[in-house]
Each structure stands twice: as C-alpha cells, then as structure tokens.
Amino acid sequence: MTGLPHPALDLTLELLESLTPWRSDASDPARQRDLAAWLEQWLVDEVEARVVLPVAEQPLTSPPLVHARIDVGAAVTVVLYNRYDVAPAAPEGWEVDPFLGGVRHWPQWGDVFIARGAQKHKGPLAGMLMTVRELWQNGLLHVNLEIVLEGEQACGSATLRRYLAQASCPIPPTEAVLFPAFCEQEGGVPRVYLGFTGMTQGAVRVKGGDWGGPRSAIDASHAAWVASPAWRLVEALNAIAPAQANGVLETRPLDVEAAEWLDELAQQCNPEAQLGQNARLALNASAYEALAHLLGSAVLTISELKTASGGQDVIAPEACAAFTLRTPPGSDPQALLARLRERLMLPDLVGAELHCGESYPGMRFSAEEPGVMELLMSYQQQQARAQIWPWSPECAPASAFAPVAPAFVMGGLGSGGNACGVNEFITLKGLARFQRSLRDWLLCF
C-alpha cells in the first residue's frame, strides 16, 4: 500500500492530552463552544482545511458544529464524522484526574491512557485528526474530506440534523460516511456496524392539581390523605413501560439480511462475556435470541428521576422522569410515542403528561454499499477479521446523513474500555492499530 509509518504515537497523545481538559459535557456549553473553536482552528492550521460553517457565526443556544473541507481535487469524497461531547465525570475512584488524563501500565492491557472521553470519543477524534494530518503532509491524501464534528450526539444531534436537512445540503454527495471508533471493545473481536439505533429524548411529568396532588410543597405529615405526584409518576411509568420488561416496548423481527448476519455473529459472541463483571444478562436465551432481542427492541431507559420539593420531609408538587427511547431500524418512534400518550389518558393517571424532545429514527445499510468493503479490507491489513453487526445498539444520527451518502458506518481497530465510566481508557497499542486501520480505509479509495 505505502511505506508511510503510522502517525507518531507521541504526537497523537499530545493532541489527546490537549483535548482532555475541556469538560465538554452538555452541562457546560461555554466550554463546548471553546473546544469547537479550538478544533476548527486546528484544522485550518494543521491541514489547511476550509471552514464551511464558522463556529463564531453559530447561535449561542446549542453546541456548535465543526464542518471543514479538505479538497485535494480528487474524484472521490468521503465524510469523517465524530463528536467532541463527553459524559460528566467526578474524580472519585479514578487513578488519574479524569480531565487531565495520564498514561499508566496495567498488567492486563499494557500501557493505557486514562481520561474521560478516552474511548468516547476524544481518543478516536485525536487519532482521526492526526491520521488525516499525516496523510495530508505526506501527499498521500487522495480523497476529498468533509470533516463533521458535533457536540450533542448524546442528546439528539439537533444542530447536525437541522444543518443537513436544509433544502441545499451543505455537504455534496459523497461516497461514504465513516464514524471512526475503537471497535475492539475491551480486547474483543473487532466489529463493523452497518447502522445505528434511533433516539428520542423526552420526559414524563406529573404536577399537582385538581386530581389531588398539591400545587405547592406540603408537609409530609399529610401523606395519608394527600395524593403524591411522585407516586403518580411511578404508576405512569409502569403503565407505559412495565418494569418487568426492563422498558422494552416492542421487539421487531429482524429482516432476512440482518438475520443472516446475526446467525454468524451468534457463533462468535457471548452476551454474558459482553457484560463482564459489571452486570448480568436479564433474560435466559441463546446467543442468537439475546442478540436479536438487543438489536430488535425499542426500549425506554430512564436517565433521571426527580421531584421539585424543596426539602426531604415534604410531598413534592411535581415529579419528573427524563427518558431516552431507543428504536431499532424499522421502528416508528412517533407511533410508539402516540401509544404511550394514549396509555397516559387513563383516568387513574390524570396529571401525568408526556413531553418529547429531539427525535430521529434508527437506520441501517447494506454491506454492499461503498465504504464497507474498504473497512473490512483495512482490518485485514492487520490480520483482523471483523464481526459484522447489522446495526449498533448505540444511538447515532445515521438517518441525518441519508441525503449525503449511501452508507453511514462505524468501525476501526483499537481497544479500550470503561466507556463513560470510572477509569475510561484506551490502550496505546490499540491507538496505533486504530490509526493504521483508518489510514488504510482512506487509502483503499
């Protein structure tokens, strides 16, 4: 292919260490904006990218997009998509400050870089940028690149979806969209994902009123004769998503092509091993049945339960449960939401209301689309054989890129673990493998 060595690991780590201190979670929009501006300037300075959508010109009300173009005059254009938002982190339990990061040696993994966002997704982002830089500096970048980075992938990708949905899409038709990631999860078999689960953000709220709940906080000594919005919320949640089903609203059968991929996947995948020591499988099923249930289920997950009380020994006038509805390709989130609203109209649930936020459907693509074979070939360059997942159980805005390219896929070699948890990490060996797999993917075009 080429005699170019993989990008220097120390330079990639230097970039990752520069990205880590930004606490770019959704609770700190100012730092998200600062990081987006920094990334935009990096692309201009390091690879002479042309900024398509300047950060400074975007509204202050949401995390800005970074959209930059590298035009080398090639016949083929591809999109590299990534994110700069991370999960929050408290320092308890970490071997290093999560927002400073550091290299440690773990006997099981060798040298690792530990930090919030190391695996999701500042590590892949740093590796991606440095790979592009090395190819560009060595005159080996033979495709045009559209680089798109967002800061709200964890909460619905609203800005990105509206940006790409314009009548005149700001990204011209391209060959493929790749979401580069470390897909040798915790040392497992490397994966390629041919699509993503959809996401709908929302909440169930209960306010006191004529149905019986207090309109303002009231002393809990009245609990025996005053209705509680918190208990009404518990009833409402169980009505729309019974607890014994773990929030699963429906499980759709897989289409023929997806079922064929799953047949092969089930022979290689141990669902119990996927969970490790952190959790237990909630169903007694074969590997195929468990995977089909995981991928085919529309599931409502509760991210936050709270009351507006002002104290511990009161009956709160309002209770709220924030949720994320995850929907597989083919599932209609709006139809599911309509069903939930209908259930909340029962007389016993008066006071409970469903509020919906950002929403997009799941989407998957055929293995025959451009970009997929190139991804498999990039794995083979390092003697790795991929597991092909018909789509990921994680959420990403694949549907937003439908006007741009025939496929939106996620892949890349490299291992890490504890994503969004304590001591999130990537291995340095995995970082080098990741960069080489991305380099080989780009060179395949």
Q: What phi and psi values does residue 247 have, to the nearest 5 degrees?
A: 85, 0
pLDDT surpassing 70 at residue 56: yes
Confidence of residue 3 (pLDDT cuts 50, 70, 90): very low
The residue extents of the domains of the chain are 9-194+365-444, 198-268+292-359
What pLDDT is attached to residue 311? 73
**Rounded to an integer, what distance in angstroms lies between the CA atom of residue 272 and that of residue 287?**
9
- Correct CATH for 198-268+292-359 of 3.20.20.220, 3.30.70.360, 3.40.190.10, 3.90.950.20: 3.30.70.360
- The residue-averaged pLDDT of 340-345 equals 95
Q: Encode pLDDT of 79-94 as tens digits.
A: 999 999 999 999 999 9
Confidence of residue 28 (pLDDT cuts 50, 70, 90): confident
What is the fold of 9-194+365-444? Aminopeptidase (3.40.630)
CA atoms within 13 A on the CB side of 7: 31
- The DSSP letter of residue 305 is E
pLDDT surpassing 70 at residue 177: yes
Whether the Cβ atoms of residue 69 and residue 50 lie closer than 8 Å to each other:
yes
Q: CA–CA distance from 391 to each of 168, 259, 271, 406 (Å)?
A: 28, 11, 16, 15
- The residue-averaged pLDDT of 59-73 equals 95
pLDDT surpassing 70 at residue 14: yes
Nearest to 226 by CA among 354, 344, 314: 314
- Other Cβ atoms within 10 Å of 9 Cβ, number: 16
Instruction: Kindly give, in sequence order, each residue whose CB lies less than 8 Å from that of residue 398, ignoring residues fewer than 6 positions away.
Output: 195, 196, 362, 363, 364, 365, 408
Nearest to 205 by CA among 305, 325, 309, 342: 305
DSSP string, 356-397: EEEEE--EE--TTSTTHHHHHHHHHTTT--PEEESSEEEE--
Q: Encode pLDDT of 122-150 as tens digits.
A: 999 999 999 999 999 999 999 999 999 99
Q: Encode pLDDT of 365-394 as tens digits.
A: 999 999 999 999 999 999 999 999 999 999
pLDDT surpassing 60 at residue 62: yes
User: Could you report how far apart the first and last alpha carbons of the chain are, in Å?
Assistant: 12
Instruction: Identify each DSSP E strand in 12-171 by its residue range.
Output: 50-53, 66-70, 77-83, 102-106, 110-114, 144-150
DSSP string, 430-444: HHHHHHHHHHHHHHH
Residues of the chain with pLDDT > 70, as a percent, come to: 94
Q: Encode pLDDT of 238-281 as tens digits.
A: 999 988 889 999 999 999 999 999 998 888 877 665 655 555 55
Residue matched to tokens 């929403």: 359
Least confident span in 122-136, 212-226, 323-337: 212-226
The pTM assigned to this predicted structure is: 0.92
Mean residue pLDDT of the chain comes to 92
Q: What phi and psi values does residue 416 have, to the nearest 5 degrees?
A: -165, -165
What pLDDT is attached to residue 429? 95
